[in-house]
Amino acid sequence: MTLKHCLAVGLAAIVGAAPAGERLYNGIVLPDAWPPATSTTADAGPQPVPYLEPANIPAVIPIDVGRQLFVDDFLIESTDLKRVYGKPRKYEGNPVLKPETPWELNKPYNPMALPKGGGMWWDSNRNVFRLWYESGWCREICYAESKDGLKWERISQDIVPGTNRILPKQRVDSWSVVPDPGATNPDERWKLFASPGGNPAKSVVYTSADGIHWKNRHWTSLNEDRSTMFFNPFRGKWVFSLRSNWRGRARNYVESDDFVKGAAWHWPFPANKQSWKDKAGFTNTVDCFRWLAADDRDVQESRKGENRKAQLYNFDAVAYESIMLGAFEVHWGPENNVCEKRGLPKITDIQFAYSRDGFHFSRPLREAAIASERWDAYGKKWDVGYVQPLSNICVVMKDELWFYYGAFGGDTKRLQPSDPAVPGSGNGSLNGMYSNGAMGVAFLRRDGFVAMAAEPGKTGELLTRPVAYRGNRLFVNASVSGGFVEAEILDEKLGTLATFGKFRGDSTCVELKTLSGNLESLAGRPVRFRFRVKGGSLYSFWMSDSPTGRSHGYLAGGGPGYAGLKDE
User: What is the DSSP annotation of 8-77?
Assistant: HHHHHHHH-SPPSSPBPTTS-B--SS-S-----SS--SPPP-GGGSGGGS-SSEE--SS-EE-SSSSSEE
Q: How many CB atoms lie within 10 A of CB 281?
A: 6
Q: Containing H/E element for 104?
A: helix 102-105
Residues 96-126: tens digit of each pLDDT: 999 999 999 999 999 999 999 999 999 999 9
How many angstroms separate the CA atoms of 555 and 440, rounded? 20
Please indicate, yes or no, if residue 566 is contained in any of the structural domains.
no
Instruction: Please tell me whether residues 50 and 160 are part of one structural domain.
Output: no
> Are 191 and 218 within 8 A, CB to CB?
no
Quick one: pLDDT at residue 367?
A: 95
Q: Are 132 and 23 within one domain? A: no
Q: Would 567 be classed as within a structural domain?
A: no
- Closest by CA position to 352, among listed 394, 382, 380: 394
B/e letters for 467-480, b = 16+ CB within 10 Å, e = fewer, are: bbbbbbbbbbbbbb
Q: How far apart are CA 512 and CA 502, in angstroms?
A: 7
196 plus 255 within the same structural domain:
yes
Mapped onto helix, strand or coil, the DSSP state of residue 430 is coil
Q: Name the 3-class secondary structure at 252.
A: strand
Residue whose C-alpha is closest to residue 325's, from 191, 230, 257: 230
Domain check: are 355 and 405 in the same one?
A: yes
Residue 174 and residue 69 in one domain? no
In a domain, 224, yes or no: yes
Domain boundary residue, one of 445, 473, 493:
445
What is the largest distance, in Å, between two alpha-carbon atoms of the chain?
77
| Number of folded domains that form the chain | 2
The predicted pLDDT at position 299 comes to 85
Q: Do residues 359 and 436 share a domain? A: yes
Distance (Å, whole) CA 351 – CA 366: 7
Mark the ranges of the chain whose per-residue pLDDT is less than 50.
1-19, 271-272, 277-283, 423-425
Q: What sign has the CA pseudo-torsion 365, 366, 371, 374? A: negative
Same domain, yes or no: 132 and 51:
no
Whole-angstrom distance, CA of residue 129 vs CA of residue 147: 6
Q: Which domain covers residue 293, as residue numbers?
A: 89-445
Of 243, 144, 230, the C-alpha closest to 198 is: 243
Cβ-count burial of 245 within 10 angstroms (0-12 exposed, 13-18 middle, 19+ buried)? middle
Instruction: Show which of 421, 445, 469 is a domain's final residue.
Output: 445
User: Who's near 483: CB < 8 A, 6+ residues apart?
Assistant: 454, 459, 504, 533, 534, 535, 536
Residue 218 lies inside a defined structural domain of this protein:
yes
Number of Cβ within a 10 Å radius of residue 147: 13
User: Is 457 part of a structural domain of the chain?
Assistant: yes
In a domain, 285, yes or no: yes
Strands of the sheet containing 311-321, edge to edge, are 347-355, 323-333, 311-321, 554-555
Per-residue DSSP letters for 459-511?
A: EEEEEEPPEE--SSEEEEEEEEEEEEEEEEEE-TT--EEEEE--EEEEEEEEE
Q: Which amino acid is at 366?
A: R
**pLDDT score at 7:** 41
Q: Say yes or no: 123 and 15 in one domain.
A: no
Assess whether 441 and 458 both reside in one domain: no
Sequence-separated contacts (24+) of 309-312 with Cβ below 8 Å: 309/248, 309/333, 311/247, 311/248, 311/249, 311/250, 312/248, 312/249, 312/250, 312/251
CB 509 within 8 A of CB 549: yes
Residues 207 and 134 in one domain: yes
* DSSP symbol at 4: H
CA distance 102 to 206: 26
Which CATH number goes with the domain that contains 330?
A: 2.115.10.20
Are residues 180 and 308 part of one domain?
Answer: yes
Look at residues 390, 410, 409 and name the one whose alpha carbon lies nearest to residue 401: 390
Q: Per 3-state DSSP, what percentage of the chain is helix, strand, and coil (rounded to 5)?
A: 10, 40, 50
The whole-angstrom separation of Cα 364 and Cα 8 is 32
Q: Is residue 562 included in any domain, yes or no?
A: no
Q: In this structure, is residue 561 part of a structural domain?
A: no
User: For residue 382, how many other CB atoms are within 10 A of its CB?
Assistant: 18
> pLDDT value at position 50?
96
Closest by CA to 188, choosing from 231, 124, 155, is: 231
Q: Which of 445, 468, 499 is the last residue of a domain?
A: 445
**Which DSSP symbol is given to 278?**
-
398: left (phi over 0), alpha (psi -120 to 50) or beta: left
Please tell me whether residues 235 and 330 are part of one structural domain: yes
Q: Which of 479, 475, 474 is CA-nearest to residue 450?
A: 479
